Amino acid sequence: MEGFKALGLSYKNAPIEVREKVAFTEEEAVQFLSMLKDTLSVEEALLISTCNRTEIYFTSQDKVESKIISLIAAYKNLASGDLSNHFNLYERADALEHLFNVSLGLESQVLGDIQISNQVKRAYQQSADLNLAGPHLHRLMHTIFYANKRVVQETRLQDGTASVASVAVDLIKGFIGNIENPRIALIGLGEIGQNVLENLNSEEASITLVNRTKSKAEKLAGEHNTTVCDFSDLKKVANDNDVVIAAAATSSPILSAADFDAEVVHKLLIDLSVPRSMDSGLENVPGISLYNVDQLTERTAKARKLREQSIPDATKIIADELAGFSNWQSEMGVSPTIQRLKSALDQIRREELARHKKLSDSEMELLEVVTKSMIQKVIKLPVLQLKAACKRGEAETLVGVLNDLFNLESTEVEKK
């Protein structure tokens, strides 16, 4: 894809302190993509923002990479110089492969993370809604979704307990095992929060849901036999529960040491948010065990080992689908030549028929059918040869031959 590039910042090249500063909520992503569309010469764009990465994939014939980073910095009120060192640039084939790897979980901090697929689908929907997804991006994303389906069916890349939400639940189960009538609070009911809730359903514990939109918490409480607390009562929630999980979208911490009683006996805090919902100073409060996203992923070694064995198979699937996409791209490149050839032959056909004005209507109809069928058969071989030449990387030569033989470029000019 000519001009296709990616700017990526992830857990591999940026600590959580940087990642949380450039994380986009869904609403912010839409606003930023709109700004990108209005201010820069970008034809297509896709913004993926998760707890582990913020990446922008775009098509542009101009060098706009530094301008995009500056735009991110301006939107987030940051110094662009502080960000540029953390972004990697991928171009053309590297950008395509990187998007495949990210979308299928090969680049996730938790290898094979199943959540990334849904996050990529939502990002694609945003681009489509803003008319930032053209024919190439549409085809590319559907190829990626098909590749993901193959990975799920043909490999064990997503087997085992390895998502952040599932690892968090395993940690909670171990913590509440010796607590009589354990109490758990879940703050934030987005995709990750709901995953945690679903995984906690089998546990014998009192669960309280907290969400800015209370109606959403009440709806889920009815489905999962849990209680609801107001978002304004976070301090009470923090002190009344043995386990507090935060998966809320927030620009600054909503819980700090000041929100807890002076003496904390034993409490588990899990922060699944990026930016973080819990102040890092809570690590120093006696009686509190605090885990953030980066720390949780360290507990997935066993599942990762199982999944690592599937990397070669997943990589082969990606290579297969990338090859298919590249063939489609090449065929798209010769599509104008095919259309001009069809038009040129059809023009000859119509001119010849026009010379026979004495034919009856029924005879003319028969000739229309016969001549159109002949043109279809005549053009079939050149089209097949063109597509074969695309796969060999020799399409340009054959396009030149066809242009010379049928004077296609002149025909196109005359047509215009």
Q: Which residues are catalytic?
A: 51
Cα 394 to Cα 378: distance, rounded to the nearest angstrom: 21
In the chain, what is the greatest distance between 2 CA atoms, to the nearest angstrom? Answer: 105
The dihedral formed by the CA atoms of 220, 224, 229 and 235, expressed in degrees to the nearest 10:
-110
327 contact partners, CB below 8 Å, separation of at least 6: 387, 390, 391
Cα 94 to Cα 111: distance, rounded to the nearest angstrom: 20
Q: Is the dihedral angle over the CA atoms 161, 166, 168, 170 positive or is it negative? A: negative
Asked whether the beta carbons of 71 and 36 are under 8 A apart, the reply is yes
* SS3 per-residue string spanning 287-353: CEEEECHHHHHHHHHHHHHHHHCCHHHHHHHHHHHHHHHHHHHHHHHHHHHHHHHHHHHHHHHHHHH
Asked whether the beta carbons of 333 and 389 are under 8 A apart, the reply is no
Cα 108 to Cα 353: distance, rounded to the nearest angstrom: 63
Peptide bond into 275 cis (omega under 30): yes
User: Helix 311-354 and helix 361-392: axis angle, to 10°?
Assistant: 150
